[in-house]
Homo-oligomer: A and B are copies of this chain.
Amino acid sequence: MDCAPHIRVQAGDFDLAAEVNRLSAGRKDVGAVVTFTGRCRDEDGRLAALELEHYPGMAEAEIARIAREAADRWSLSGLTVIHRYGRIEPGENIVLVVTASSHRKAALEAADFLMDYLKSRAPFWKKEHPATAAEPGRWVEAKAEDEDALARWKK
């Protein structure tokens, strides 16, 4: 990979266009840029907000490991992962993955791979705060399908 992965774990939002420009502005060798934006849904009005807890230090280290694996498997010219933590309301962004490559399949597959690994390996935990204030917050349970999704990428 030509350039080091750009990784950020932050409370604040990110700027999609700025992150795409980081990997492609002025570049004549980038044929494909893929972005994946994960957002908070309101679950048909049942959710007031998500609280994202993370493990500082390990979050960055683990995302870096996942990014390095993607860069080893696909020919990428650039790779960005930004994951937010803290309180996030419906309609707000949670996570951004940007992949750039000369070829479309590399960019698409790497983004798919990164999201699967972020879901099940990056040390973040979501707590749902219900719209009904009387109800207590509830930790989101890991889904078996997310674990299964990783099996697709085993070499």
Contacts and interface: CB of A to CB of B under 8 A. Distances in A.
A140 to B, nearest CB: 13
Interface of A: 16-17, 20, 24, 26-42, 44, 90-91, 102, 104-105, 107-108, 111-112, 115, 149
B29 A41 contact: yes
Q: Lowest 7 CB-CB distances: which A-B pairs, in order?
A: A28-B42, A28-B90, A17-B17, A33-B37, A35-B35, A31-B41, A28-B91
Which secondary structure dominates chain A's binding surface?
Answer: mixed
A142 B54 CA distance: 47
Given A35-B34, A90-B28, A112 B102 contact: no
Contacts of A149: 105
B42 A32 contact: no
Contacts of A16: 16-17, 20, 35
B31 A38 contact: yes
Contacts of A24: 37, 39, 91
Nearest to A38: B32
Contacts of A27: 91
Given A30-B41, A108-B108, 9 more contacts: A16-B20, A20-B35, A28-B41, A31-B39, A31-B41, A36-B107, A38-B104, A41-B102, A108-B112
A34 B34 contact: yes
Given A104-B115, A111-B108, A32 B28 contact: no
